[in-house]
């Protein structure tokens, strides 16, 4: 009977995940990097019991972005423990995006991290993480108009943010409570996105509904997480709050105001692109065996920034994954 109840709880979480409608931002990289927000393997023993050092995870994600754009991702992830305290993690998604302006598919931005457990005691653990999010494209992919030119698609269609970012974070767990602080800092910006309304006819309402992002420059993010984990037999559920503070305004070039003296375009602020996004989150893991587990997660925004030009806005997100520990 209890087993059936646990399966019912997991199915409920998966149903909520699949049906959730949110106008918040998706993860730019650091929110779930390395140990940040990770469900504990052994909830009531954060370090004294023997646990597998390595894991492999495969996550399937379906999302609906701006103007009903669909984003499907297959995300393999590998974690290797060099010792019982030090490890490394790698995540490389494959993305397929389609909408009313076209389609795009291929590898997304890679996230590479290494983490170290400075404190590893019974029901207490402190992990520090450093890593990189590496761009796979310059975010300038688009639809070919003719043999000579390609018209760039908006950012929501892009597989990459076009930046290489430094990821720093700490994750502290005490008993069932955990908290995390993380920072995502742009190191190099190669975003060459050239989506601008000037490239579309005034009557093309579909194209002009997307945000102009001509050579977008994205600001840093500061992330704070607070979570509480509870176990129901083989099922572990971890609700929480995720705050993402965009530390500055994003900018773009303004193609409508050419400086004819210098033959250059001015860079303008995207008003409302800075500020706070606060999300209600939940993660779930159902233990199938000593090595296999089924996972699900979702996030729903309580507070959002006025403008999110990086294409990470999602109207619907559904995630489900399988984890193997070894």
Transcribe 83-137 into DSSP letters: SSSEEEEEE--EEEEEETTEEEEEE--EEEEEEEEEEEETTEEEEEEEEEEE-SS
Residue 67 is encoded by which pair of tokens? Answer: 């103007």
Instruction: Name the residue ranges covered by the structural domains of the chain.
Output: 2-314
Q: Tens digit of pLDDT per residue, the chain (326 long)? A: 555 555 445 445 444 443 343 344 457 889 889 898 787 765 544 444 567 899 999 999 988 888 899 999 999 999 999 999 999 999 999 999 999 999 999 999 999 999 999 999 988 999 999 999 999 999 999 876 666 667 899 999 999 999 999 999 999 999 999 999 999 999 999 999 999 998 887 778 889 999 999 999 999 999 999 999 999 999 999 999 999 999 999 999 998 887 767 668 999 999 999 999 898 888 999 999 999 999 998 877 888 888 999 998 877 777 999 999 99
- Partnered with residue 173 across adjacent β-strands are 125, 178
User: For the domain bounded by 2-314, which CATH number is listed?
Assistant: 2.40.160
Query: Looking at residue 146, what is its pLDDT?
Result: 62
Count CA within 13 A, CB hemisphere, residue 245: 8
Residue 38 is encoded by which pair of tokens? Answer: 């990770």
Report d(CA 71, CA 62) in Å as an integer.
6
Count CA within 13 A, CB hemisphere, residue 169: 32
Would you call 324 helix, strand, or coil by DSSP? Answer: strand
Distance of CA 256 to the CA centre of its chain: 32
**Among 72, 114, 113, CA closest to 93:** 72
Helix ranges, the chain (H): 2-19, 205-208
Contacts with 191 (C-beta within 8 Å, 6 or more apart), sequence order:
138, 139, 140, 161, 162, 163, 215, 216, 217, 218
Write down the pTM of the prediction.
Answer: 0.88
E strand map for 197-274: 221-228, 230-232, 235-246, 251-253, 267-269
8-state DSSP, 137: S
Report d(CA 130, CA 283) in Å as an integer.
23
Residue 261 burial (C-beta neighbours within 10 Å; 0-12, 13-18, 19+): exposed
Report d(CA 248, CA 269) in Å as an integer.
10
First to last CA, the chain: 30
């Amino acid at each position: 009977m209890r087993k059936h109840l646990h399966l019912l709880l997991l199915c409920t979480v998966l149903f909520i995940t699949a049906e959730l409608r949110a106008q918040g931002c998706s993860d730019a990289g650091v929110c779930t990097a390395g140990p940040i927000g990770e469900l504990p393997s052994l909830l009531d023993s954060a370090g004294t019991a023997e646990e597998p050092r390595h894991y492999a995870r495969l996550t399937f994600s379906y999302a609906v972005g701006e103007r009903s754009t669909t984003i499907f991702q297959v995300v393999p992830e590998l974690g290797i423990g060099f010792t019982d305290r030090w490890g490394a993690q790698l995540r490389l998604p494959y993305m397929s995006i389609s909408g009313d302006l076209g389609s795009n598919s291929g590898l997304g931005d890679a996230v590479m991290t290494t983490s170290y457990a400075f404190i590893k005691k019974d029901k207490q653990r402190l992990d520090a993480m450093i890593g990189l999010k590496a761009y796979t494209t310059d975010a300038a992919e688009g639809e070919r108009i003719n043999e000579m030119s390609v018209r760039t698609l908006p950012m929501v269609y892009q597989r990459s943010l076009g930046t290489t970012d430094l990821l720093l974070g700490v994750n502290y767990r005490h008993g069932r409570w955990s908290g995390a602080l993380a920072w995502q800092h742009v190191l190099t910006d190669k975003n060459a996105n050239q989506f601008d309304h000037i490239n579309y006819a005034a009557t093309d309402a579909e194209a002009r509904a997307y945000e102009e992002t001509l050579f977008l420059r994205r600001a840093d993010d500061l992330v704070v997480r607070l979570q509480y984990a509870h176990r129901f037999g083989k099922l572990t559920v971890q609700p929480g709050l995720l705050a993402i503070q965009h530390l500055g305004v994003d900018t773009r070039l303004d193609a409508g105001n050419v400086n004819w003296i210098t033959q250059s375009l001015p860079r303008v602020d995207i008003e409302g692109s800075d500020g706070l996004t606060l999300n209600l989150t939940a993660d779930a893991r159902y233990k199938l065996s000593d090595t296999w587990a089924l996972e699900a997660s979702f996030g729903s925004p309580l507070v959002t920034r006025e403008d999110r030009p990086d294409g990470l806005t999602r109207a619907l997100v559904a995630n489900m994954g399988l984890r193997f520990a070894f």
